[in-house]
Structures are given as structure tokens and as C-alpha cells.
Amino acid sequence: MRKSDKKIENQIRDVLTDVCEYTLKSYDGFLWVTHTVNFSSFPQSLKIVCVFDTNQDRANFLAGEGQKEVSTNIQKAFSQVGITLKNIDKHISYDTQENCDRDHQGKWNKRL
């Protein structure tokens, strides 16, 4: 990993940690957030995954204003550190521990 990649990775991690802490307090069933990125095609390659405990928790979140609020928070947080994501909704997906347990025996490294 190049020094510039490490700097970007640290920025991503810091932004998503802040978003995660806020979202944990605000939405029932929210567990954590993670990401994948290919630095040679950053920021287009950035994929953010918000993980909920159950499919019902995810459905409740998506039925309300949660998705809009979280995506707006993520976009603002990245903007504050100089990272522009043109269409934030294309970068964010929502998954569940329930689905990972069923499909990948709880192994997120395989699922992602």
C-alpha cells in the first residue's frame, strides 16, 4: 500500500467510524459499517456496507428516513475531508448479519 493510499484509508476509516457511532445510537438493529476499496480507481471503487442484525431491522430502516439520513451524513463527512462521491447511493449497500450467517456461515470476508 502506497503512503497516499494509507492516508486515504485512514480518512475513510475515520469518517465511517463517526458515521457508525451516530447510526448505532439512532437506529435499532444497526450493528456496524465496513468498506472495500480499490485505490487505483478511488473514489469510484469505494463500496460502503451498513450492516443490520436482522432482515426485519434492515427493512424497518429502509422503510423510514434512515437511508436518506445516513447517506447524507456519509456524503457530508467525506466532503469535510475533501473526498467527493458523486452519487452516494451507488456507493452504499445495506446488508444483515442474518443473511451472512445463512449464506456464508457468518464469514464477512467471504461475503464482501
Which CATH number is 73's domain given? Answer: 3.30.300.30
In sequence order, the β-bridge partners of residue 34 are 49
How confident is the model over 19-40, as a mean pLDDT? 96
- pLDDT per residue as tens digits for the range 32-87: 999 999 999 999 999 999 999 999 999 999 999 999 999 999 999 999 999 999 99
Domains in the chain, number: 1
Domain that holds residue 92: 3-111
pTM strictly above 0.95: no
Mean pLDDT across the chain, nearest whole number?
96
Share of the chain above pLDDT 70, in %: 100
Q: What is the pLDDT of residue 54?
A: 98
61's grid cell: 430502516
- Answer whether residue 1 shows pLDDT above 90: no
Q: Quickly count helices (H) and strands (E) in the chain.
A: 5, 3
Q: What is the pLDDT of residue 42?
A: 95
Cα–Cα distance for residue pair 35/24, rounded to 1 Å: 17
Instruction: Kindly give, in sequence order, each residue whose CB lies less than 8 Å from that of residue 16, ignoring residues fewer than 6 positions away.
Output: 33, 34, 35, 48, 74
- Answer whether residue 110 shows pLDDT above 90: yes
